[in-house]
Amino acid sequence: MDLHESLKGKSTIDGKIKFYRHISKVKKETSNWLRGIPKNGIDHSRRLEDYLNRLIPDDLKKKFRPAEVFILLYAVYSHDIGYKKDDGTIEAEDHPERSKQKILNEPATYLFGDFPSMAEEPPRAAQAVAEVCYGHADESICPLNHIPNRFPDAYLCPDLLDLRLLVALLRLADEIDQPYIRLGPLREHISLVEVGTDIVRWHWEDLGRNAGVALEEQVQKTNKALKVVNDYLYLWGLPVRTVVLEPSLMDTLPLPIEPKDYKAFIPKHYIPPRCQDESGEDKGPLHDYVHHWLNDPKRRLLAVLGDYGIGKTSFCYKLASDLMGSQWIPIVVELQSVRKKGWREVIQEEVDSRTLLILDGFDELSLTFDKKTVLKEIKNLSHTTGAYPKVILTSRTQFFRDVEEEKETLVYRVIRSFKRGHRPLTYPRFERIYISPFDDEQVRQYLTLSLRGKAGTRFLEPDRGEGF
Measuring CA to CA, which residue among 288, 136, 165, 167 is closest to residue 238?
165
Contact 280/286 with Cβ under 8 angstroms?
A: no
Q: Report cis status (omega within 30 of 0) of the bond before 247.
A: yes
Q: Range with the lowest mean pLDDT among 164-173, 276-285, 312-321, 344-353? A: 344-353
Question: Highest mean pLDDT: which of 18-27, 237-246, 363-372?
Answer: 18-27
The answer on pLDDT for 197 being more than 70 is yes
Residue 90 φ then ψ, to 5°: -105, 125
pTM as predicted: 0.55
CA distance 119 to 265: 66
Burial class (CB in 10 A: 0-12, 13-18, 19+), 460: middle
In our burial notation (b when 16+ CB lie closer than 10 A, e otherwise), range 367-389 reads eeeeeeebbebbbbbbebbbbbe
Count CA atoms closer than 13 A to 116's CA, side-chain side.
Answer: 9
pLDDT in tens, 23-45: 999 999 998 998 888 776 888 89
Span 170-176, average pLDDT? 92
The answer on pLDDT for 301 being more than 80 is yes
pLDDT higher at 1 or 424: 1
**CA distances for 202 relative to 47, 136, 186, 218, angstroms:** 14, 21, 12, 11
Proportion of the chain above pLDDT 70, given as a percent = 80
The answer on pLDDT for 188 being more than 70 is no
Tell me the pLDDT band of 418, cut-offs 50, 70 and 90.
Answer: very low
Q: What is the pLDDT of residue 125?
A: 96
Mean pLDDT taken over the chain:
82
The answer on pLDDT for 451 being more than 70 is yes
Span 373-395, average pLDDT? 78
Measuring CA to CA, which residue among 374, 427, 424 is closest to residue 401?
374
The answer on pLDDT for 364 being more than 70 is yes
Tell me the pLDDT band of 50, cut-offs 50, 70 and 90.
Answer: very high
Tell me the pLDDT band of 362, cut-offs 50, 70 and 90.
Answer: confident
Span 386-407, average pLDDT? 83
Span 282-287, average pLDDT? 95
Span 227-247, average pLDDT? 84
Q: What is the pLDDT of residue 254?
A: 42
Span 57-62, average pLDDT? 90
Q: What is the pLDDT of residue 218?
A: 77
The answer on pLDDT for 423 being more than 50 is no
CA distance 379 to 383: 6
Write the CB contacts of 86 (distance below 8 Å, at least 6 apart in sequence).
Answer: none
The answer on pLDDT for 156 being more than 90 is yes
The alpha-carbon radius of gyration of the chain (Å, integer) is 27
Query: What single string gives the DSSP state of each residue in 1-68?
Result: --TTGGGTT-B-TTS-SBHHHHHHHHHHHHHHHTTT-SSSSHHHHHHHHHHHHHHS-HHHHTTS-HHH
Tell me the pLDDT band of 209, cut-offs 50, 70 and 90.
Answer: very low
Amino acid 62 reads: K
**Which H helix or E strand runs over 377?**
helix 371-384
CA distance 212 to 214: 5
The answer on pLDDT for 298 being more than 50 is yes
pLDDT higher at 173 or 366: 173
The answer on pLDDT for 280 being more than 90 is yes
Domains with residue ranges and CATH for the chain: 1-175 (1.10.3210.10), 177-252 (no CATH), 262-437 (3.40.50)
Tell me the pLDDT band of 257, cut-offs 50, 70 and 90.
Answer: very low
CA distance 393 to 388: 13
Tell me the pLDDT band of 283, cut-offs 50, 70 and 90.
Answer: very high
Q: For strand 274-276 and strand 431-435, is the pairing parallel, antiparallel, or unpaired? A: antiparallel
Q: What is the pLDDT of residue 159?
A: 95
The answer on pLDDT for 449 being more than 50 is yes
Tell me the pLDDT band of 419, cut-offs 50, 70 and 90.
Answer: very low
Contact 132/75 with Cβ under 8 angstroms?
A: yes
> Given CA atoms 20, 26, 29, 32 in this order, what sign does their dihedral have?
negative
Span 388-401, average pLDDT? 86
Question: Highest mean pLDDT: which of 7-21, 77-91, 214-228?
Answer: 7-21
Edge to edge, what strands does the sheet with 274-276 contain? 282-285, 274-276, 431-435, 301-306, 390-396, 355-360, 329-334
- Cα torsion 130, 135, 141, 144 to 10°: value is 140
